């Protein structure tokens, strides 16, 4: 065995021991609050991947789509027939299309009531609040209302919040924060979004 092989073997053993120690130390079991934020693509896609995973185990899942709800969504189309999936969609779609703050606020509050229902239901294992960050940024929802619902949810329930510019209050509460970083985006070079790839 060469010195390089020995160093590699030792590094792998240390890594394995580190992972084993982390697994042994993780003794608390409860639902998580996860935030997928940042300017990069993939936040909603990652959330839908987790939805698919939870449904695969037979768990009940709720998804509330703010802003992009009226757009085509391949994941939603594929999974919507699953009896364990409950999807609520904000009726106005992209807020910058309507330019009507009053109707946007009303639509947000209506779909937020669905979110509150899901967040209060101990049978719902996972709740995704897709693009919720924009509702806080634009002032359609206040952070106190959102944090109260998150704090009072069933202990076994996991929540994923997606969107850019996540509110500081959400980040302080979160167990896991993933920031998607844009390095390059095809759209910026004039390439159209592709059905089945981007949506």
Q: Which residues are CB-neighbours of 124 under 8 A, at least 6 positions away?
A: 60, 61, 62, 86, 118, 154, 157
User: Which residue in the list 36, 37, 43, 68 is annotated as catalytic?
Assistant: 43
36 part of the active site:
no
User: Which residue in the list 7, 10, 14, 39 is annotated as catalytic?
Assistant: 39
User: Which residue in the list 29, 96, 172, 192 is annotated as catalytic?
Assistant: 96
165 part of the active site:
no
53 part of the active site:
yes
66 part of the active site:
no
E strands along 69-149, which residues? 85-89, 124-130
User: Which residue in the list 52, 75, 94, 179 is annotated as catalytic?
Assistant: 94
96 part of the active site:
yes
Please answer whether residues 158 and 31 qualify as being in contact, where contact means their C-beta atoms are separated by less than 8 angstroms. Answer: yes
User: Which residue in the list 36, 37, 44, 66 is annotated as catalytic?
Assistant: 44
Please state, in angstroms and rounded to a whole number, the distance separating the CA atoms of residues 166 and 36. 8
User: Which residue in the list 7, 9, 53, 101 is annotated as catalytic?
Assistant: 53
Please state, in angstroms and rounded to a whole number, the distance separating the CA atoms of residues 199 and 193. 8
User: Which residue in the list 41, 117, 137, 164 is annotated as catalytic?
Assistant: 41
45 part of the active site:
yes
Q: What residues are paired with 34 via a beta bridge? A: 160, 176
92 part of the active site:
no
131 part of the active site:
yes
* Residue carrying the six token digits 């924060």: 177
- Residue 19 in tokens: 């992972």
User: Which residue in the list 36, 66, 95, 131 is annotated as catalytic?
Assistant: 131
187 part of the active site:
no
Supply the residues annotated as catalytic.
Answer: 39, 41, 43-45, 53, 94, 96, 131
């Amino acid at each position: 065995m060469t010195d390089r092989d020995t160093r590699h073997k030792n590094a792998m053993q240390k890594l394995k021991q580190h992972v084993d120690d982390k697994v042994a130390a993780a003794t608390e079991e409860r639902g998580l609050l996860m935030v997928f934020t940042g300017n990069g693509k993939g936040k909603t896609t990652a959330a839908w991947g987790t939805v698919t995973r939870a449904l695969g185990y037979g768990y009940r899942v709720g998804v509330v789509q703010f802003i992009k709800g009226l757009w085509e969504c391949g994941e939603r189309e594929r999974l919507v027939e699953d009896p364990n999936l409950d999807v609520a969609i904000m009726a106005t779609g992209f807020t910058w299309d309507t330019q009507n703050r009053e109707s946007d606020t009303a639509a947000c509050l209506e779909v937020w009531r669905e979110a509150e229902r899901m967040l209060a239901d101990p049978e719902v294992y996972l709740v995704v609040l897709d693009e919720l960050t924009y509702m806080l940024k634009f002032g359609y929802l206040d952070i106190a209302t959102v944090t109260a619902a998150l704090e009072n949810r069933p202990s076994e329930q996991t929540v994923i919040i997606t969107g850019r510019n996540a509110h500081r209050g959400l980040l302080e509460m979160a167990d896991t924060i993933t920031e998607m970083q844009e390095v390059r985006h095809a759209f910026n070079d004039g390439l159209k979004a592709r059905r089945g790839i981007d949506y």
